[in-house]
Structure 1
């Protein structure tokens, strides 16, 4: 491999993360000893030449330790963007305690769907299997979530270590499996796993197609079953809309608790972006609540930048842009907002955009499809997102309406042929690139944004770029 192989060890305390790091690197660099208290309290990294490869290993604190998530999450987010990075989720062979089960689930939630595709399970204390196959050992565990996680989330991707016997063969076999996971196009970390260096650009011809890997020996066979890879473990959603549409209330309904400040008053409440993540119906759901378009306290160009920056908080790209509209208040500005989405986030954004109607309790038994058929504005609006819409009653934290929304989003993502919205903006890496990109977007589409915000006072300043470019918005029709 041309690039460095980066391995991130994750899991609970006392499962053998540090010992595994020492086994991989072939020398004792991480502190590992019996203790009643966690030994590893900080993230540490060491690099060695291993079997001809430059290997960097990061050891992390136990996932359930105090403040561990604040230390580990930035590491995971950084390495998801770096080629050659693989996450090793470490478990100890033996009966899975409730604490270990909780640590495993917490690790899976932290990684999300994209992280899981770059992960495998590393079982330690392999000698304790005493001749039993790992698959038989796991299938006997009916009380923890391990069988489901092993089969469905990791697609049975695993390796077994005996950290007391530092044999080179077990490390060599692990590195072979890891190389396969990290062997993909450097410019795209969003593709499904394959045994070729080129990314998978189309679905497999069969749902049960296997990807066999070249192995170092006949005993090192390792396969990834594509249908076992869970594409929708996590969801990243962006709420957009006019003031008073019910974005914050909808965010609270989706997350099942009051995470965003909502109000029944006439003034807009969401004047700043907020991003909240909660486990909902077994999935790690992140919702970005954006400032309402036409915030009277901010000039359009400042509001534009804040909304764009709020969307960029989802560095991996959202699974859905949700345009929130209050039933009975549909107007042309909502239609223009849908028109603006592909201009700001490329044409692919159209495949990930839908409408969420709020105040569904006002229907009073009426059929929403009949209302749409009888309202030209609503029909025109929904044509912009291929008729994808859902209705919420935010007075009720009804999990069924949220479940239906998730199903609709999953169907939308599957129909797109991609894992999430991969617009160019989510591939920018530096502040300078992002600022330049914002300037160009404002130059081209600032007038349309002002039209939606309805705060343009006619002055040239409102239509100028973010940082002084004097070109006018001549591209807006």
Structure 2
């Protein structure tokens, strides 16, 4: 990756990308650079943009955490907020993450995100002056700048910016067209529905990330919801998994991802544990961009009927942005052999929360298929409540064995999707990569 030569002049404040793991330290640095004690107040780990006449600071979420679902989407969102303005980088190093190994890892990740030459446009700000001295050799190693987050930061930063040429991304890893469309979407949000911002703050929202290297942010959102923005108009087909805790929603989502060619490791898949452990507490999504015209988004959800779920309504609103009639299929996940009274009433309760008859687009997905003894049809007929539930979904049902690596079970599931054939068609199997082609 390289830096464009002779970047076009950009009038107005210099754009700065603020990276780091600790929100409070990034807040402090932003306030000192902007010389504004109110800037970034009460900032959560989200994208927020603040500016004055000299600087425009894009304060980013934590790109570096192990729990970061998808740096790809974050990079696209960051570039959309910069486009086409030149950008310089700050890496804020807090005391807790100031060991050399951790600092080097963050620098290398920035290079991976934005290119090897990122460090020529980077200033590393240390909270701890002692660590700044001990790691001074990183200046030569990465050809970058180091400083401490002191009270004289504004003056120092003005000097540093004036002595450097601006950075422009070359769009080798992410399409400039995609970034421009994302920028337009963010501007649409800012102009339609956001509350007025204070202290020079611009409208800003974080898109729930995906993990595929082929992920594309092509959303054209109509309204913000929670920390994520998606609508049915984004040209992406959503597979939304709903159900009670412990039924196997995350494991089933991973079975589908694996069949569609996503690498089988913790970075790319949903977190899934034993049935007794609740691992999904927020809506999570992952994009799969296939070789043909279809982009698929898998959406894993928490148990919306769990009274202990934090931010329950916020998560329901998040789910609504994916779960829209013409652009999704719903997989209602139930565990084979564990049909309870809560399962019996789940469909109308979910419909009440989501605001439409999801049964029109729902397939009942039974998990733990390995435990089935005999015929699935016989089992369903013997379970009166389950049979009634399946009838409400126009007799659409399917069985998964999430321990199996046979992709045929996913192929057969997709064939049952209640949608027009021209919208979602399996073309065949990629025998070389052992995954399904859409």
Normalization by structure 2: what TM-score? 0.43
Normalization by structure 1: what TM-score? 0.39
* Bigger RCO (CA 8 Å, 6+ sep): 2
